[in-house]
Amino acid sequence: MIKVTCFAGKRVALFGLGGSGRVAARALIAGGADVTAGDDQAANIATAAAEGIPTGDLASADWSGFDALILSPGIPLTHPVPHWVVKRARGADVEIIGDIELFVRERQHVCPQAPLIAITGTNGKSTTTALIHHVLQSAGRLCDVGGNLGPAVLGLSPFTPERHYVVECSSFQIDLAPGLDPTVGIHLNLTPDHLDRHGTVQNYAAIKEQLLSGVPRTGLIVCGVDDGPSEAMADRAEMSGARVERLSVRRPVSDGFYLDGHILMRARAAAATFAADMSRCPALKGAHNAQNAAAAFAAATHLGLDDEEIRQGLETFPGLAHRMERVGRVGNVLFVNDSKATNADATEKALSSYETLFWIVGGKAKDGGITSLNGFFPKIVKAYLIGEAADAFAATLGSAVSHEICGTLERAVEAAAHDAGLAAGPEPVVLLSPACASYDQFPNFEVRGAAFREAVRKLPGVTAP
Ligand code: ADP
């Protein structure tokens, strides 16, 4: 754990006692802060109290004595409406920050030279975070990974100058981290998401851009340029005089990395040279993963790794669970768990990576549903609809795609496995890529993915992929 000493002797209110909130409370207490913690749920308060975290009634507290409110990123700061605790803090002019802000202030305080690599974007954050961690570790660097992926940032190892911190940052976390100042700041892409919490896409984009604006002059900004808002961010960063590496998987760029077929190229002024062969990276299938690999290449180069070390890391990356994860095979039918695809944009990546598809889709639909995926409909032999979105998705598929409302995931796996087993073609794929949140039927996407794996495991004749 990292002790947060920069609040020593100060009074701090902390709200939201889930995993990262409790770690933050312990880190502040260990650093000498006087913490009063709260939560809307009695069970969370009880867990915190049992761990020795001082809890109190923040609704009736005198806020004039607090120096800061440490807010969990899950709690509404601005939209749909600010939470009552946010209003109390604002009313008393108390600053509102999150655990990543505590992390960066402490780093500035005790060890500013420890490299910090911060990653954001609508899609690809976790893959890129895990990939950079893997590349750095394979090259022998001391490296911790956390934030939105893995342990809370304040649960990572104490700062030392040679330790690298690879931190995934959601927009909610960035919104609470005005001092975020990474050595390498990475923004991958931007499509409308989480608008219930950010109001407008402009506001959402502005929050993501904060991660880039905080990169110091000696640092590096890495920015995808395949969507308009992200390209505009790269332009603004460059105009401000920062060092920017641009990433594209759609067209050549003059400074940065781009994809040419399955080859990742590095462009410098007038010349382009070979960086990596993506066909040698089995866990990084698809153009979207080439964008993640390009970000890792740019970051690792800035941190001093040579090209061969980086290629080794990309080629040996094991991949992450629930992201186009190959979970089993029956005969020539491959079963792929892409439960993490909770929006149409993420599902598009999986649909574009395979040819003969038996597609399990549905859950709690996002705005726009699956309408944007109609270009892939000809590849889909049949769709198996689950969850709340089933009727609406059936209407979207209409007569263009044969489909069946299955209701549950288990029923969908059985039906898809049966149909795919009869299919022609070299490798029919049964793909769970729901394009929906999981909350209507599962606690989260991990449990949904595990249920898919389990249903596949029960199929007669199943083998490892
Ligand atoms: P995040 O942490 O941002 O949610 P993940 O790395 O967990 O991203 O990937 C989630 C899903 O997003 C993947 O299953 C894939 O479908 C899609 N995805 C991954 N990388 C990218 C990318 N660079 N661009 C667009 N989509 C991506």
Q: Is the CB of 129 under 6 A from ligand 1?
A: no
Look at residue 156 and tell me whether its pLDDT is greater than 80: yes
pLDDT at 203: 86
Look at residue 197 and tell me whether its pLDDT is greater than 80: no
- Spatial distance between the Cα atoms of 385 and 393, rounded to a whole number of angstroms: 7
- Spatial distance between the Cα atoms of 199 and 173, rounded to a whole number of angstroms: 16
**Mean confidence (pLDDT) of the chain:** 95
**Higher-confidence residue: 50 or 192?**
50
Atom from ligand 1 closest to the CA of residue 323: 14
pLDDT at 78: 85
Q: How far is the CA of 284 from the centre of ligand 1 (A)?
A: 11
Residue closest via CA to ligand 1's atom 18 equals 124
Q: What would the mean pLDDT of 339-363 be, rounded to a whole number? A: 94
Pocket test for ligand 1, best of 125, 127, 336, 339 (most atoms within 8 A of CB): 127
Give the containing element (helix H, strand E) for 151: none
How far CA 133 is from CA of 140, 144, 300, 321, in Å, comes to: 11, 7, 10, 16
- Spatial distance between the Cα atoms of 409 and 258, rounded to a whole number of angstroms: 38
Q: Is the CB of 288 under 6 A from ligand 1?
A: yes
How far CA 254 is from CA of 159, 222, 225, 244, 451, in Å, comes to: 37, 14, 12, 11, 45
Q: How far is the CA of 113 from the centre of ligand 1 (A)?
A: 30
Long-range pairs of 92-96 with CB within 8 A, sequence gap ≥ 24: 92/63, 92/64, 92/66, 94/13, 94/63, 94/66, 94/67, 94/68, 94/69, 95/67, 95/68, 95/69, 96/68, 96/69, 96/71, 96/176
Atom from ligand 1 closest to the CA of residue 127: 6
Residue closest via CA to ligand 1's atom 19 equals 124
415 CB-contact burial (10 Å; exposed 0-12 / middle 13-18 / buried 19+) = middle
How far CA 39 is from CA of 46, 52, 66, 99, 332, in Å, comes to: 10, 15, 17, 16, 51
pLDDT at 49: 96
Look at residue 139 and tell me whether its pLDDT is greater than 90: yes
How is residue 368 written in tokens? 């726009």
- The model's pTM: 0.88
Contact 149, 183 (CB under 8 A): no
Strands 325-330, 333-337: parallel, antiparallel or unpaired by DSSP? antiparallel
Total Cβ atoms within 10 A of residue 258: 25
Going through 16-114 in order, the beta strands assigned E by DSSP cover 34-38, 68-71, 95-97
Percent of the chain with pLDDT strictly greater than 90: 90
Look at residue 424 and tell me whether its pLDDT is greater than 90: no
Outline where 170-306 has alpha helix (H): 171-175, 195-198, 201-213, 228-239, 287-302
Look at residue 219 and tell me whether its pLDDT is greater than 80: yes
- Spatial distance between the Cα atoms of 373 and 108, rounded to a whole number of angstroms: 45
Strands 364-365, 380-386: parallel, antiparallel or unpaired by DSSP? unpaired
Q: How far is the CA of 437 from the centre of ligand 1 (A)?
A: 14
Look at residue 312 and tell me whether its pLDDT is greater than 80: yes
Query: What amino acid is encoded at 163 in this protein?
Result: R
CA 220 to chain centre: 20
- Spatial distance between the Cα atoms of 293 and 288, rounded to a whole number of angstroms: 9
Q: How far is the CA of 226 from the centre of ligand 1 (A)?
A: 14
Write the DSSP assignment of 377-420 as a string of letters: GGGEEEEEEESTTHHHHHHHHTTTS-EEEEESHHHHHHHHHHHH
Contact 290, 284 (CB under 8 A): yes
Q: What would the mean pLDDT of 408-424 be, rounded to a whole number? A: 96
Q: Is the CB of 188 under 6 A from ligand 1?
A: yes
- Spatial distance between the Cα atoms of 178 and 199, rounded to a whole number of angstroms: 19
Look at residue 282 and tell me whether its pLDDT is greater than 90: no
Q: How far is the CA of 346 from the centre of ligand 1 (A)?
A: 6
Among 73-77, 186-190, 299-303, 455-459, where is mean pLDDT lowest?
73-77
Pocket test for ligand 1, best of 349, 372, 446 (most atoms within 8 A of CB): 349
Q: What would the mean pLDDT of 244-253 be, rounded to a whole number? A: 97
Q: What would the mean pLDDT of 299-306 be, rounded to a whole number? A: 98
Atom from ligand 1 closest to the CA of residue 292: 23
Predicted confidence band of residue 404 (pLDDT cuts 50, 70, 90): very high
Predicted confidence band of residue 145 (pLDDT cuts 50, 70, 90): very high
pLDDT at 285: 87
Q: How many CA atoms lie within 13 A of 332 on its CB side?
A: 9
How is residue 382 written in tokens? 């049949």
Look at residue 211 and tell me whether its pLDDT is greater than 80: yes
Strands 68-71, 95-97: parallel, antiparallel or unpaired by DSSP? parallel
Q: What would the mean pLDDT of 106-114 be, rounded to a whole number? A: 97
Pocket test for ligand 1, best of 119, 122, 123 (most atoms within 8 A of CB): 123
Residue closest via CA to ligand 1's atom 4 equals 123
Q: Is 167 strand, coil or helix?
A: strand
Look at residue 372 and tell me whether its pLDDT is greater than 90: yes
Predicted confidence band of residue 148 (pLDDT cuts 50, 70, 90): confident
How is residue 258 written in tokens? 């781009």
- Spatial distance between the Cα atoms of 108 and 217, rounded to a whole number of angstroms: 15
For residue 21, is it left (φ>0), alpha (ψ between -120 and 50) or beta?
A: alpha
- Spatial distance between the Cα atoms of 149 and 19, rounded to a whole number of angstroms: 12
